[in-house]
Structure 1
Amino acid sequence: MIAAMVFAAGLGTRMRPLTDAMPKAMVRVAGRPLIDHALEQVAGAAPLAVNAHHHAGQLQAHLAGRDLTVLVEDPLLETGGGLRNAMGVLGDGPVLTMNADAAWTGPRAIETLAAAWDPTRMDGLLLLVDPARTAGPCGADFGIAADGALTRAARPLGYTGAGIVKTEALARVPDRVFSLWELWRPMLAAGRLHGTRHPGGWADVGTPEGIARAEAMLAAAA
């Protein structure tokens, strides 16, 4: 069993005007809010936390009664700060982190990540995707060396927004608001940030245009 954190507190500025009246995580794709797509990818994780900020009450109402904790942030803490804010819920072990703005086909992220996770060799593990498997744009952020360690030298693979990270280094970050890159950067330099490939399809749903692309991908896989 692994703890999980779903990041759902963003302002959703690229998704406007839809997010003028709702959090991005409540935007519907194929009839379901994005937060439900994300929670499906981490089903089985425990404990489970979701952060919220923009129109937080809507997200709280939607998730009421589920076996998870919603943490409302004010101010926004970004991904690293949000994760540290949730450690009282999640405990001190590794955490599966998941962005709530994507649609997926194929194996669930938790299954692929858990199968590849090796804490003796890794301090972090990111779930990556070949741009050929994506519906719409995908930033090619990383390459993978022969031993599975990530590199920025050759960057053919995109980050899906899911990964596992050890959390001990959170206490050493001086800022309150910071991104997960503050954890990843020293792991990358030490060869302790690894990657594994998502074998299914993936679609970024950060903009209104991304909704139609994601729905077409899901329909084709049904």
Structure 2
Amino acid sequence: MRNMPDAVMLFAAGFGTRMGSLTANRPKPLLEVSGQALLDHALALTDAAGVRRKVVNTHYHSDQIEDHLSVRSDVAVSRELPNILETGGGLRKALPLLGDSPVFTLNTDAVWTGPNPLAALRAAWDPVRMDALLMLVAPENALGHNGAGDFQPGPDGRLQRGPGAIYTGAQILRTEGLNEISQDAFSLNLLWDRMLEAGRLFGLLHEGNWCDVGRPEGITTAERMLAGQING
């Protein structure tokens, strides 16, 4: 079993319902920000970080995403059909493609400025102390996001749930515990809760801005952020 991640799961199976009519006939990962599909923004981060193995899960308009990825020979697809499996179930289904733990995971509905989040996670990963390392962002550096936050990091980076830093959708995660969960479709929050109890869930603050492109107005916000017109 390896100690450093060399595979990434990119989550692209969701319905994108908050996008309204924009996702009536196409999946949210293929919506464009600054002329580039959200999925390609995410893949660019994995390419720049040198992640060797890339897996994208699909469900809603799966055929469109697979067509889009057909030009890339380095990306495998994990189809979730007939049922969508959520983040935990989707990751578990993709494990044969991802290989041994640990792995990166990355949401495909956000854009970033600042240091590459995957490279930063790799540099801070300590497999002796950690079962997961979540990339977080301070509220003042989070654009397009509403809410009080998700986690409170301690002095050593160990996490507790509560208002504060916002989870960005990027992390390094040990996957062995997925096989202990009985549900077919489930959130990774179930695995995080077990890691929290064991004191092995950690966080790292992103040193840049992050924009959640979850609603139509998030596209304009993200484009302005990338153009340097607004900051967190």
TM-score range, shorter chain: over 0.9
**Structure 2 counterpart of 1:15, from 9, 12, 19:** 19
**Structure 2 match to 1:73:** 80
**Structure 2 match to 1:46:** 52
Q: Could you tell me which amino acid in structure 2 is paired with residue 151 of structure 1? A: Q
Whether 2:138 is the aligned partner of 1:130: answer yes
Q: 1:183 deviation in Å?
A: 1.0
Whether 2:182 is the aligned partner of 1:174: answer yes
SS of match in other structure, 1:194: strand
Q: How far does the alpha carbon of each residue in 1:163-206 deviate from its partner, in whole angstroms, 9 at most, with x for none?
A: 01001101111011011111101101211000001101100001
What RMSD in Å do the two structures reach over aligned CA positions?
A: 1.4
Provide runs of 4+ in structure 1 moved above 4 Å: none
**Structure 2 counterpart of 1:27, from 27, 31, 36:** 31
Whether 2:160 is the aligned partner of 1:151: answer yes
Whether 2:219 is the aligned partner of 1:198: answer no
Kindly indicate whether the alpha-carbon contact (under 8 Å) linking 1:138 and 1:204 is maintained by their aligned counterparts in 2.
Answer: no
SS of match in other structure, 1:118: coil
- The separation in 1 between residues aligned to 2:104 and 2:144, in whole angstroms, is 25
Q: 1:138 deviation in Å?
A: 4.5
- The separation in 2 between residues aligned to 1:14 and 1:98, in whole angstroms, is 19
- Residue ranges of structure 2 left out of the alignment (5+ in a row): none
Q: 1:45 deviation in Å?
A: 1.2
SS of match in other structure, 1:195: strand
SS of match in other structure, 1:16: helix
TM-score normalised by length of structure 1: 0.96
Kindly indicate whether the alpha-carbon contact (under 8 Å) linking 2:144 and 2:213 is maintained by their aligned counterparts in 1.
Answer: no
SS of match in other structure, 2:97: helix
What are the within-5 Å matches in structure 2 for residues 114-125 of structure 1? Answer: 114-125=122-133
Kindly indicate whether the alpha-carbon contact (under 8 Å) linking 1:105 and 1:221 is maintained by their aligned counterparts in 2.
Answer: no
Kindly indicate whether the alpha-carbon contact (under 8 Å) linking 1:126 and 1:195 is maintained by their aligned counterparts in 2.
Answer: yes
**Structure 2 match to 1:111:** 119
TM-score normalised by length of structure 2: 0.92
Q: Could you tell me which amino acid in structure 2 is paired with residue 91 of structure 1? A: G
- The separation in 1 between residues aligned to 2:106 and 2:146, in whole angstroms, is 16
SS of match in other structure, 2:150: strand
Q: Could you tell me which amino acid in structure 2 is paired with residue 46 of structure 1? A: R
- The separation in 1 between residues aligned to 2:219 and 2:95, in whole angstroms, is 32
- Residue ranges of structure 1 left out of the alignment (5+ in a row): none
Q: How far does the alpha carbon of each residue in 1:99-133 deviate from its partner, in whole angstroms, 9 at most, with x for none?
A: 11001111111111101110100000100001111
Q: 1:221 deviation in Å?
A: 7.0
**Percent identity of paired positions between Structure 1 and Structure 2:** 51
